[in-house]
Amino acid sequence: MAIELKMPALSPTMEEGTLAKWLVKEGDTVQSGDLLAEIETDKATMEFEAVDEGVIAKILVAEGTDGVKVGTVIAMIASEDEDADAVKAPAAKAQQAPAKESASAAAAAPAAAASTPAATAAPVSADGERIKISPLARRLAAEQGLDVSKLTGTGPGGRIVKADLAGAASAAVAAPQVAATPATNAAPAAAATPFQTDIPHSAEKLSNMRKTIARRLTEAKQSIPHIYLTVDIQLDKLLKLRGDLNKALEPQGVKLSVNDLLIKALAKALVQVPNCNVSFAGDQLIRYARADISVAVSIPGGLITPIVADAGNKSISAIATEIKELAARAKDGKLQPHEYQGGTASLSNMGMFGITQFDAVINPPQAMIMAIGAGAQRPWIVDGALGIATVMSATGSFDHRAIDGADGAQLMQAFKNIIENPLGLVA
């Protein structure tokens, strides 16, 4: 009996993903453990392994297809002694809904059907001839409301491919909208309208990562009451310690950054002020027993926060080695979900760009994030006299539902004291 290969859930929160690349083709024999495809989630691209053995009979979802729901059948595997040519795609299963929801279900059905390439009818030109277009380009054109009869194909035999859709958004013809029945007491969503402007421009479809960033940051700013606390911190002792440690670690090939020391400083401060190492969870307050620091890393197309677990109990050299390796894999899209999901607090450093001070948005379900500005020489009182010191500004953003202002102030004070007396970082 043929085996249905379904879109996997590669993380606990994954609901859909992009089938970035097939690593097999129809007719290939696969064994358990063989790599089948690359799946792009909102944060990373992960390889999908075979569990069963057999022959790839049919590939049902083309590579490059995005928005593939978890559980969707993406391919069929013919089992041993089964004729691969005789395998058929599974029949679409009708969704059952209570009678009172039948109107909403009926309205939503066309949209659900459009999520798969096969659901979009093959387009025809004005003279009735079938337009040559790839399944992916056909679906994307339908989603963007593009009139494919006005596009010129650059694929084999004049076939319209995904690349031909770029730049055509400004000339899009709006697709008919399906009138959905709004839920009780819910405001109906505004109908999407094509963007129009006379200014020369290009239109770029949002990646899964950018969609997730937009959604999460909007939710964070709308639902979390932020409170911001800023302190100025003298860095001269920390910079001297870093220089001394780098000389000692040079034979090992380890080089510490200021950020590595700040990660440990934040972790130790959270241990000292446990009322800030928490999360707000409705009618519960979650108190963490260790400090796992999420570190903001800029990558092509967005931002990701790899986690240094139990940073307060790790050596600075171990933190430096770990964050370097995590950041490298983050930029390649190879992080595993447990390496960027979770954490008890975040640290975002924009000092390398010359930013002196900023307010960061909390990364839920965490309740605080530390924003680090650039260190610069400023007038400073040194031993009772006016002098020059290297000073940076650090701003903590706190979820005021979970953390009182006084507790946030204690954390900022502890963070400042640890950095200005940095020998405690190597104790």
The residue extents of the domains of the chain are: 3-86, 99-205, 212-425
Contact, 116 vs 61, CB < 8 A?
yes
Residues recorded for the chain: 427
Q: Which residues are 4's β-sheet partners? A: 76
Whether 418 contacts 425, CB under 8 Å:
yes
CA 263 vs CA 260, 313, 333, 370: distances in Å: 5, 11, 22, 10
User: Taking the domain 3-86, which CATH number applies?
Assistant: 2.40.50.100
User: What pLDDT, on a 0 to 100 scale, did the predictor assign at position 288?
Assistant: 97
Q: What are the two backbone dihedrals, phi and then psi, of residue 22, each rounded to the nearest 5 degrees?
A: -85, 135
pTM of the model: 0.62
As separate numbers, helices (DSSP H) first and strands (DSSP E) second, the chain gives: 7, 19
Q: Which residues of 239-250 are buried (b: 16+ CB within 10 A; e: fewer)?
A: eebbeebeeeee
Q: What is the pLDDT of residue 137?
A: 67
**Strand partners for 294:** 307, 346
For 379, the token pair is: 């007038």
Tokens of 173: 């013809």
Residue 139: per-residue pLDDT: 64
Compute the distance between CA of residue 427 and CA of residue 411 in angstroms, rounded to an integer. 20
Give the C-alpha distances (Å, rounded to integers) separating 324 from 257, 262, 307, 363.
10, 15, 12, 21
pLDDT at 95: 41
**What is the DSSP code string of 300-338?**
TTEEE--EETTGGGS-HHHHHHHHHHHHHHHHTT---GG
User: Among 201, 226, 338, 400, which one carries the catalytic annotation?
Assistant: 400
Contact 55, 28 (CB under 8 A): yes
Closest CA to 343 of 299, 281, 277: 277
The answer to whether the CB of 275 falls within 8 A of the CB of 251 is no
The residues near 375 (Cβ < 8 Å, ≥ 6 apart) are 235, 239, 258, 351, 390, 391, 392
How far is Cα 14 from Cα 297, in angstroms, rounded to an integer? 21
**DSSP readout, 360-412?**
PPP-TT-SEEEEE---EEEEEEETTEEEEEEEEEEEEEEETTTS-HHHHHHHH
Check if 400 is active-site: yes
Which superfamily, per CATH, for 212-425?
A: Chloramphenicol acetyltransferase-like domain (3.30.559.10)
Counting as low any pLDDT under 70, the low residues of the chain are 1, 12-13, 42-43, 80-81, 84, 86, 91-130, 134-137, 139-140, 143-145, 154-159, 161-163, 165-193
CA distances from 402 to 215, 268, 308, 312 (A): 22, 20, 23, 22
